[in-house]
């Protein structure tokens, strides 16, 4: 990786509002180690400043952040460079924890794709604003990995069995679904997104929630497909085992259940097992405990055939036809 974090992360303070802009548009703002370190350093410096809020946004309408640069992680694994991968995940998870514990309100402006590491940047902050172009997902089971960046903490805390559904299937949330699930907190139309920073600066004494609600258009939350399927989601994905989840989906015999079943069938069996175990137990642990367990798990997962094959099929050759294998991790996931 060539570190160009000075260009890929832009940061400045204007009228008491810190603004961090992700600026790697050709890669859909996929996070590198340098970018993570740059964001973490900025936030560390700003802890001593008198700010009313911190914004995290993108310079591109296509993506807030499509995740971590997982293709580079695969290259590290193939080269036997475990240290480089360790540095990336450790620094990313440290940043996730910093955002969760930050003393100033963190407002993420999610326009376009927000996946994997993008959720790690946003969901741990207090305010996640989505536009009508937002698409959010944790698609890791489709590349032989598992939902990380604290997903073993935040997914189990979503209502009902929504978190298990999202983690296992990688289902993509639109703005309505993200608001319904609680992954997003506010809706602002894309053409009003640039006004958020100035509105916060103009009203430093007002709660951030109040300022964001003033900018919101009509919320799309009532029109979401997730709300319509909620009963089936809770019944099927609330089952105690993967096998029972699959059985319940077959019993439902609906288009939604068929799509969910297809997503499970196309995912890595190894990833499904890891993810189910992590999410089934994550509600018992703190965010820092979950991040520590996820870091331990990355050390073995990124060397497995399923991870190497999944990233190859999705991001290298892009043939979308992974040949999954059942690779033993030598024990149960750390949260079990």
Q: Where are the domains of the chain?
A: 5-316
The predicted structure's pLDDT at residue 334 = 64
> Is 68 noted as a catalytic residue in this protein?
yes
Find all residues with CB under 8 Å of 55, minimum gap 6, and list them.
17, 18, 19, 20, 107, 108, 109, 196, 197, 200
pLDDT of 95 strictly over 90: yes
DSSP string, 268-318: -HHHHHHHHHHHHHGGGS-HHHHHHHHHHHHHHHTTSHHHHHHHIIIIIS-
Is 140 assigned a catalytic role?
yes
Active-site hit among 18, 117, 120, 144: 117
Alpha carbons 123 and 108: distance in angstroms, whole number: 8
Radius of gyration of the CA atoms of the chain, in A = 19
Catalytic residue flag (residue 244):
no
pLDDT band at 48 (very low <50, low <70, confident <90, very high): confident
Smallest Cα–Cα separation from 102: which of 119, 125, 127, 129?
125
Of 10, 16, 59, the closest CA to residue 208 belongs to 16
Check 111, 140, 294, 309 and give the catalytic one.
140
**Calpha distance 136→163 (Å, rounded):** 13
Give the distance from CA 187 to its chain's centroid: 18
For residues 206 and 104, give the distance between their C-alpha atoms in angstroms, rounded to a whole number.
Answer: 14
In this predicted structure, the answer to whether residue 75 has a pLDDT above a threshold of 70 is yes
Q: Which of 69, 92, 148, 309 is catalytic?
A: 148
- How confident is residue 164, by pLDDT bands cut at 50, 70 and 90? very high
pTM of the model: 0.94
Pairing of strands 113-115, 135-137: parallel
167 and 138 in contact (C-beta within 8 Å)? Answer: yes
In this model, does residue 4 exceed pLDDT 60? no
Residue 329 confidence (pLDDT) above 60: no
At 330 the pLDDT is 46
Residues above pLDDT 70, as percent of the chain: 93
Overall average pLDDT of the 210-228 stretch: 82
- Single out the catalytic residue among 18, 34, 67, 68: 68
**CATH number corresponding to 5-316:** 3.90.226.10
pLDDT tops 70 at residue 1 = no
Contact 212/200 with Cβ under 8 angstroms?
Answer: no
Q: Which DSSP string corresponds to 85-112?
A: HHHHHHHHHHHHHHHHT-SS-EEEEE-S
Q: Give 97-149 pLDDT, tens digit per residue.
A: 999 999 999 999 999 999 999 999 999 999 999 999 999 999 999 999 999 99
């Amino acid at each position: 990786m060539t570190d160009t974090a000075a260009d890929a992360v832009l940061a400045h303070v204007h009228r008491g509002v810190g603004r961090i802009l992700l600026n790697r548009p050709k890669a859909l703002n996929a996070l590198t180690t340098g970018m993570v370190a740059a964001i973490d350093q900025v936030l560390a410096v700003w802890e001593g400043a008198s700010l009313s809020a911190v914004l995290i946004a993108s310079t591109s309408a296509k993506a807030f952040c499509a995740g971590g640069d997982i293709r580079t992680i695969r290259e590290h694994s193939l080269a036997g460079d475990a240290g480089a991968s360790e540095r990336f995940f450790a620094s990313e998870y440290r940043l996730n924890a910093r955002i969760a514990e930050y003393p100033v309100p963190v407002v993420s402006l999610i326009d376009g794709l927000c996946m994997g590491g993008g959720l790690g940047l946003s969901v741990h902050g207090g305010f996640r604003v989505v536009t009508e172009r937002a698409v959010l997902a944790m698609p890791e089971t489709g590349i032989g990995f598992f939902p990380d960046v604290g997903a073993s903490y935040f997914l189990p805390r979503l209502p009902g069995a929504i978190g298990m559904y999202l983690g296992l299937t990688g289902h993509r949330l639109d703005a309505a679904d993200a608001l319904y699930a609680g992954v997003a907190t506010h809706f602002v139309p894309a053409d009003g997104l640039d006004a958020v920073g100035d509105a916060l600066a103009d009203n430093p004494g007002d709660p951030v929630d109040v300022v964001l609600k003033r900018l919101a258009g009509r919320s799309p939350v009532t029109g979401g497909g997730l709300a319509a399927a909620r009963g089936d989601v809770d019944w099927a994905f609330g089952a105690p085992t993967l096998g029972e989840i699959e059985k319940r989906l077959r019993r439902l015999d609906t288009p939604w259940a068929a799509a969910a079943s297809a997503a499970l069938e196309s995912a890595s069996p190894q990833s499904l097992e890891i993810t189910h175990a992590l999410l089934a137990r994550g509600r018992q642990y703190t965010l820092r405990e979950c991040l520590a367990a996820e870091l331990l798990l990355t050390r073995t997962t990124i060397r497995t055939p399923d991870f190497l094959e999944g990233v190859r099929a999705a991001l290298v050759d892009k043939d979308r036809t992974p040949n999954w294998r059942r690779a033993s991790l030598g024990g149960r996931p750390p949260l079990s």
